[in-house]
């Protein structure tokens, strides 16, 4: 989630019974709700370091406890300094939250930050530094405009009518639960529609591919893919739409390509049994993902390693120029609009979408002698 949403959520929590702990709880909750994103300091080492460390240990068990204690100490210390500068008669020490209370509230605030990041398609290193796999539910976009609007509205109404603050906070939290629940149902519906949407283009599962779980986990374990040209299915993902709870991007990851199709789970064409003329799968886009020896060589470079460790749906492509230089590039299909993607919805859409420059990628250039001449994060058109 974005930091504005995290901050608004922390302020909303402060209007629940948690705020009764005393002075310092609001500051602790707002700071704790943003504390895990302190990993932005990794940008001092460049984009590569940020990609390696973002949503890492600060979002894991040690980070939850450690950042909670640090936040409590900062708020407790700042409050003592402020109180010392005031006249003793103006300080009501009985209304101060204790350090233990601030610590418990701050740890809770950090925990909620992680739990709000987990349902996003970006994911988080939930168990780092003990386990560096990514985890995600894929229910939410990075910025949920409905959640953001509800939190802001609840705080503004509470500011205008203080007597309604606690009730509004409860209403907003109930709306949040409803929003998460609706996205869960829509997500599962989109996954269930995949066989019908992709139709005969969807092959059988690869031998040894992991069974689908409620929570997604990547990178996937290595499996022995068939040596023949026959394709097989590794996994199916449904990625949320920024503007609607009901539109999802279905991505089927195959052994040598991706199938991509946008779907509206409320589309009338997807209700009931398919008709004999139902051929929605014909509008599916195939995005190649063929790994050549040059691609494997390029994948060993540091930028490619960092990107592939982060990317859930990396698609590789390569071109050779007249001088024999091979350019290998990867895109993460969570954040790219592949050429030819069309929405399954009543709204008119262009037949082709040209993808623009994409920072969620990696590019490696290898000369005719097999030497790496350039390796960087990002990929252009």
Closest by CA position to 14, among listed 134, 80, 108: 108
Cα Rg of the chain, angstroms: 24
Here the tokens at position 131 are 């386990």
Enumerate the domain spans of the chain: 3-182, 290-381
Residue 229 is predicted with a pLDDT of: 61
- Roughly what angle, to the nearest 10 degrees, separates helices 25-34 and 99-117? 30
Residue 268 is predicted with a pLDDT of: 83
Residue 270 is predicted with a pLDDT of: 83
Distances (CA, A) of 232 to 226, 255, 295: 8, 5, 21
- Sorted by sequence, the CB contacts under 8 Å of residue 339 that are 6+ apart come out as 285, 352, 353, 354, 355
Distances (CA, A) of 319 to 129, 356, 362, 366: 37, 18, 14, 11
Residue 380 is predicted with a pLDDT of: 63
Residue 355 is predicted with a pLDDT of: 43
Instruction: Kindly report the pTM of this predicted structure.
Output: 0.89
Here the tokens at position 14 are 């402060």
Residue 211 is predicted with a pLDDT of: 83
Rounded Cα gap, residues 148 and 238, in angstroms: 22
Residue 214 is predicted with a pLDDT of: 84
Q: What are phi and psi of 354, to 5 degrees?
A: -90, 115
Residue 20 is predicted with a pLDDT of: 87
Give strand ranges (E) for 75-145. Answer: 134-136
Closest by CA position to 169, among listed 289, 29, 60: 29
Give strand ranges (E) for the chain. Answer: 134-136, 216-218, 233-240, 247-254, 257-264, 285-288, 314-320, 326-332, 343-344, 358-366, 372-379
Here the tokens at position 250 are 């279905």
Per-residue confidence in pLDDT tens, the chain, 381 aa: 999 999 999 999 999 999 888 899 999 999 999 999 999 998 888 888 888 899 999 999 999 999 999 999 999 999 999 888 776 555 566 688 999 999 999 999 999 999 999 999 999 999 999 999 999 999 999 999 999 999 999 999 988 888 888 899 999 999 999 999 999 999 999 999 999 999 888 999 998 888 888 899 999 887 776 665 678 999 999 999 999 999 999 999 999 999 999 999 998 888 877 666 666 667 788 999 999 999 999 999 999 999 999 999 999 999 999 989 999 999 999 987 644 444 444 443 433 344 444 568 999 999 998 899 999 998 765
Residue 72 is predicted with a pLDDT of: 97
9 close to 33: Cβ distance less than 8 angstroms = yes
User: Which secondary-structure segment (H or E) carries 127?
Assistant: none
């Amino acid at each position: 989630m974005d930091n504005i949403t995290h901050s608004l959520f922390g302020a909303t929590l402060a209007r629940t019974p948690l705020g009764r702990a005393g002075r310092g709880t609001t500051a602790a909750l707002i700071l704790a709700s943003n504390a895990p994103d302190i990993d932005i300091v990794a940008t001092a080492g460049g984009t590569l370091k940020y990609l390696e460390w973002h949503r890492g240990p600060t979002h894991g068990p040690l980070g939850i406890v450690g950042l909670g204690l640090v936040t409590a100490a900062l708020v407790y210390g700042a409050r003592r300094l402020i109180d010392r500068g005031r006249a003793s008669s103006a300080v009501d020490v009985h209304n101060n939250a204790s350090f233990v209370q601030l610590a418990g509230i701050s740890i809770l605030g950090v925990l909620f930050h992680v739990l709000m990041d987990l349902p996003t398609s970006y994911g988080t290193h939930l168990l780092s530094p003990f386990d560096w796999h990514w985890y995600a539910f894929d229910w939410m976009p990075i910025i949920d405009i409905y959640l953001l609007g509800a939190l802001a509205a609840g705080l503004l109404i509470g500011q205008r009518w203080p007597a309604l603050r606690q009730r509004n906070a409860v209403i907003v939290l109930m709306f949040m639960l409803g929003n998460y629940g609706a996205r869960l149902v829509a997500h599962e519906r989109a996954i269930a529609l995949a066989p019908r949407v992709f139709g005969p283009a969807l092959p059988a599962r690869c031998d040894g591919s992991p069974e689908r779980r409620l929570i997604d986990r990547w990178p996937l374990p290595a499996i022995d893919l068939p040596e023949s040209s026959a394709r097989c299915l590794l996994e199916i993902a449904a990625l949320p739409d920024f503007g609607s709870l009901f539109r999802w991007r279905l991505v089927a990851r195959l052994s040598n390509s991706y199938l991509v199709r946008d779907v509206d789970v409320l589309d009338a064409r997807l209700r009931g049994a398919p008709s004999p003329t139902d051929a929605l799968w014909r509008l599916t886009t195939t995005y190649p993902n063929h790994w050549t020896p040059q691609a494997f060589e390029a994948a060993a470079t540091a930028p490619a390693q960092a990107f592939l460790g982060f990317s859930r749906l990396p698609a590789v492509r390569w071109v050779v120029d007249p001088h024999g230089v091979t350019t290998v590039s990867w895109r993460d299909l969570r954040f790219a609009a592949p050429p030819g993607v069309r929405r399954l919805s009543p709204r008119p859409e262009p037949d082709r979408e040209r993808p623009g420059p994409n920072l969620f990628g990696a590019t490696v250039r290898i000369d005719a002698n097999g030497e790496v001449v350039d390796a960087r994060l990002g990929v252009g058109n």
